[in-house]
Amino acid sequence: MTKAKFKVKKGDEVIVIAGREKGKKGKITQVITESSRVVVEGVNKVKRHQKPSKLSGGGIVEKEMSLHVSNVMLLDPKSGKGTRVGYKIEGERKLRIARSSGAPIL
């Protein structure tokens, strides 16, 4: 099976468009291409019980779990709303642009 290509990258600001966390915004901290999932900072937090180890003490740890990439949408740099991603070729560079406003995504 080939690796999936995503239009969102690590460090992008996104909004959750479906599920329990709908409407929350955050930055992508990790992209998991094998399972088409992303981890968004401050979204989909769960509590996990952790055994003590030499490196860290045990207890209940709160961490972010992954979301499917179809449940997040890139934020438009101009309006701050969700937008689709398009591509534009300027010279020899391929730029990502926001479909709703045409603004380049950095």
pLDDT band at 83, cuts 50/70/90?
A: very high
Q: What pLDDT digit, counting tens, does each position of 31-62 carry?
A: 999 999 999 999 999 999 999 999 988 899 99
Which residue ranges form the domains of the chain, and what is each CATH number?
13-51+60-77 (2.30.30.30)
- On whether the CB atoms of residues 78 and 50 are closer than 8 A, the answer is no
pLDDT band, residue 1 (cuts 50/70/90): low
Q: Up-side HSE of residue 49: CA atoms within 13 Å toward CB? A: 0
pLDDT band at 17 (very low <50, low <70, confident <90, very high): very high
Do the Cβ atoms of 43 and 67 come closer than 8 Å?
yes
